[in-house]
Structure 1
Amino acid sequence: MEKIYNESAEHFDVNLGGKKIHPKKVSGRFRNYKNFTWLFWIGYILLPYLRWDGQQAILFDVPHRQFHLFSITVYPQDIWMLSFLLILLAMMLFGITAIAGRVFCGYFCFQTVWTDWFVQIERWIEGNPTQRKKLDAAPWGAVKIRKRLFKYFIWALISLITGITFVAYFTDAYQLWIDIFTLEAHLYVWVTLLTFFIGTFLFAGFMREQVCLWLCPYARIQSVMIDKDSILPTYDARRGEPRGKAKKGVIDAKYGDCIDCKVCVAVCPTGVDIRNSALQEGCIMCGVCIDACDDIMEKVDKPRGLIRYNSEKEIEGIDLPAVYKRPRVIVYAAISLFSIMAIVVGLLNIPPLATTIIHERQPLYAMMSNGSIRNSYTFKILNKTPEAVDIKISVEGIDGIVMKGVGETVTLKPNRLIPFNVQLEAMPDKVKDKKVPIYFTITGVDGDVKISERYENFFARP
């Protein structure tokens, strides 16, 4: 198989930025799949404006160190779950790559999708590839300036929305628009917005496939995750070679099915010739070359599938093993399952309160006029629930110990950290050692949230 590929490929044509690629429009099932995945990113743009229980459904509230995900609020104390989420996403990417190659690049990657949008806009305004090339070569005149300005305006609008969307995940989305148009937004908003605006405009509008070739590490490490069982857009060289021109209804035994029309290259968004190899750095495995080739095969009365999603083994006539029998897929799946279980367990067991009790060190204790010993403590209680909670604090460990500075109940505001001070007083004859262990108990008072927490500290004496 490698021999056939090598004989059919004079060279691997990788665009290093010296020319602009104008992909030809194509229709077919894989092109439709790409269009369908746009819905995911459109959802990403609209999601910040969704409200849930009176607040933004998804919000990374950095000033208050909170992450709101619908009815779930995650705090820094629970950030360990983020590690498992990142592991899960990485394993999913590795697993998908092992099974079906760089389909993430071809269908879901934001660089691919935004570039696709920009190319579609360019096609609507400037015409087909031939017309666009003529416009590129034409001198600057009224028509060229008008078309380019209109195109850049639409690109800039999408870039602006992209930047605003990202910022909207970190602040109130509706208030953000007001702050921007009244020029009252914080400096970090303007910096982030400008960064995403410039990045989107340049990367999707001008660099395009060069981002994949030079900036994205995924294209360079894909070969580590792909093997002979991976399903990739593959040119069937056994069937297609040698290439030669053909006429409809005419069969020439000295040629294969490939008529060397180069339509597969013309429609490729990165300018790759899939016939050279199924595994190329520039190939994002989007499958539009399959749509183009199938259309040509139908026109010349030849079977579809000269280019198709297939593994190297299948092309060579070897049966593909079941996915669940592939060791690397099993490992990826096992790690993913463990990560999911860890996240679910963590979310189901997020405690309603996060409490810190600090014994004051200066002074460690104080002698009162009635002969008792006083110790002071600083409480910091974070209410992780979306509702106000009433709690009761009690202490035990020393007979006759008295707690002051706090009422019978303490009201904790929703999703807020409440600091307050507590003093404990005990008679010297009841405190047997220089440091006696004591136990604070925090319990909920009525309400729907069940709270019962116990914390150990100490009481000091001279």
Structure 2
Amino acid sequence: MKDRIPTQDITDAAQKKAAALRAAKGRKIEKQQDSADLYQKRKHIYVRKAIGFFTNLRTTLNWVLLLAYFSVSWLQWDGKQAVFFDLPNRQFHVFGYTFFPHDFMLLSWILIICAFLLFFMTVFAGRVWCGYACPQSVWTFLYIWAERVTEGSRNKRMSLDRSEMTGEKVRKKAAKHALWIFFALATAFAFVGYFSPVRELGPRILAWDLGPWEMWWLFFFTTATYINAGWMREQVCIYMCPYARFQSVMFDRDTLVVSYDAERGENRGRRKKGVDYKADGLGDCIDCGVCVQVCPVGIDIRDGLQYECITCAACIDGCDEMMDKMGYDRGLVRYTTENELEGKKTHILRPRLIGYFTALMAMVIALMIAISDRIPLELEVLRDRNQLYRMDTAGNIENSYIIKIANMDQKNHDYRLSVDGIQGLELIGSTEVSVNAGEVINLPVRISIHQSSMNVPSADITITVKSTDGSEQELSKESRFISAVQR
């Protein structure tokens, strides 16, 4: 009879490794159960400053986005505000283009493109939008920076909050909240500056010469920014943002996510640098907790993939920093896929990702064509329904129309009116008209024809508006001409 291999032959290190992996899974389940309580009191998160490639990348991108938000409204284009949404006049000026409400189809296309871009990025690399470009994250990191500047490092902030109220504590807290309020006011000012002339907004605020809507949005955005970025922070991402809830639908086993390599890291344990920790059954994780301390949402990436994670990669930089100090290889926490962690092959190019990219490129090309072919001119022809036609003493038949011309450009233009469709048609009055930039005019016109040239009760005619200043704008509309001829 063959001898059975006794369980005692399994090494102690392997037993500890298996037990550690089971413990990691248990902590993950416990963490998920704890996070299900929506009514637990919020614990303030003291975010430690991370140093590394991903932190530098995110910080640079954040400052670029903030600079763009605060400065674009101040740019000039042909002597006018480059980006200005003129709601009272229903005109939207964007770098030389003027859009009107009926152009909102283009806005729909832009929103659909943004949605597909978000889907594509989520399938490819998880919640990178949340970690690197979401306004909530950008302003949260700005407020954390203000916290660090006024109150000091993470340990100093924790000690400050635990200490008794002193003059030093009041001074630091006041400086922090002053910076928070300043950023909130600046955010509100910049936002309103896209809807009200930004160069006039400051003097009007000082003169207390604001409309009710301007005052409301200044108050609302100041309050919302101060509360969301200063006080709520990760609560917005965890409980208010719907993206965190449906993102898992778009994930697959080849999606790049920030993950902890439990096979390499367990068993966790503190140790001295240079000792043979593997002989004691320990993994590379030294259980320093830095990955938790640098996380802006306060999760432990070692508990596995969690919906709270915004993929900012601060834990990667924090862990790499500690690995460097211990002399271990980097990558214990890294961007990876579930398949890679399980030793399987990762497929970057896959049908769903290719499908999103193809649809995205098709919509971008379609939008570019639509904008390039767009004529910044609108023409509408309305018949006078109070009088079908009029006969004069010379035997001419006249029809009256209201021609609506909208110059959707940011430059003044001269136009010429013409009509065709029936031999002998004539426009009565001036056929030349000037329309200022962004102006809409209603032009009453009469069209006449001698009754000898009209042998049908009605006929289609075409009214054309063509620019005469070299801008090569031309637009035509069809209408009906009614006569006195009876069948």
TM interval, short-chain normalised:
over 0.9
Q: CA deviation at 1:139?
A: 4.2
- Aligned partner of 2:25 in structure 1 is 6
CA shift in 2, pair 1:295/1:402, >3 Å? closer
Q: Distance in 2 between matches of 1:302 and 1:441?
A: 76
Bigger Cα displacement from structure 2, 338-347 vs 419-428: 419-428
Corresponding residue to 1:451 among 454, 457, 473: 473
Question: Which residue of structure 2 lines up, in the alignment, with residue 257 of structure 1?
Answer: 284
The 5 Å alignment of 1:17-416 reads 17-38=41-62, 39-252=64-277, 253=279, 254-277=281-304, 279-321=305-347, 323=348, 325-404=349-428, 406-416=429-439
Q: CA offset at residue 117 of structure 1? A: 1.2
The alpha carbon displacement at 1:151 in A equals: 1.2
Cα distance change, pair 299–181 in 1 and its aligned pair in 2 (3 A)? same
Comparing 241-250 with 152-161, greater Cα deviation is found at 241-250
- Identify which range, 128-137 or 110-119, moves more after superposition: 128-137
Partners of 2:166 and 2:59 in 1: CA distance: 34
**8 Å CA contact retained: 2:55, 2:317:** yes
Q: C-alpha separation between the residues in 2 aligned to 1:165 and 1:44?
A: 7
In structure 2, do the counterparts of structure 1 residues 399 and 233 end up closer, same or farther at CA, with 3 Å as the change threshold? closer
8 Å CA contact retained: 1:375, 1:460 = yes
- How far has the Cα of 1:10 moved from its partner? 6.4
User: CA, structure 1 residues 369+202, in 2 after alignment: closer, same or farther (shift >3 Å)?
Assistant: same
Deviations 1:327-353 (A, max 9, x none): 111111111111111111111111142
Structure 1 residues 3 and 399: CA distance shift in structure 2, 3 A: same
Structure 1's 383 and 11: CA in aligned 2 closer, same or farther, altered over 3 A? Answer: same
Deviating more after overlay: 70-79 vs 114-123: 70-79
* 1:67 positional shift: 2.3
- Verify the 8 A CA contact 2:74 2:81 in the aligned structure 1: yes
Per-residue Cα deviation, 1:362-406 (whole angstroms, up to 9, x for no partner): 1222343445433210000112233322222222344444422x3
TM-superposed CA distance for 1:8, in Å, is 5.4
**TM-score (ref. length: structure 2):** 0.89
CA distance in 1, matches of 2:393, 2:167: 93
Determine the C-alpha separation between the residues in 1 that align with 2:295 and 2:52.
14
Alpha-carbon displacement from aligned partner over 1:230-279 (angstroms, at most 9, x marks no partner): 111110000111212211111232111112121111111111000001x2
CA distance in 1, matches of 2:145, 2:93: 35
Gaps of 5+ in 2: 1-17
* Residue 155 of structure 1: how far off its partner (Å): 0.4
SS for the counterpart of 2:303 is coil
Q: Which residue of 2 aligns with 1:441?
A: 464
What letter matches 2:446 in structure 1?
Q
Shift in alpha-carbon separation, 1:228–1:5, aligned structure 2, 3 A: farther
Name the SS for the 2:85 alignment partner: strand
Deviation of the 1:427 alpha carbon: 3.6
Distance change (3 Å), C-alpha of 1:106 and 1:398: closer
Instruction: Report the TM-score when normalising by structure 1.
Output: 0.93
Q: 1:17 to 1:200 in 2, by over 3 A?
A: farther
- What secondary structure does 1:374 align onto? strand
Superposed CA offset, 1:281-323 (max 9, x none): 22111111111111222222222111111111111122212x3
Number of residue pairs matched? Answer: 457
- Please tell me the residue identity of whatever aligns with 1:413: N
CA distance in 2, matches of 1:247, 1:415: 72
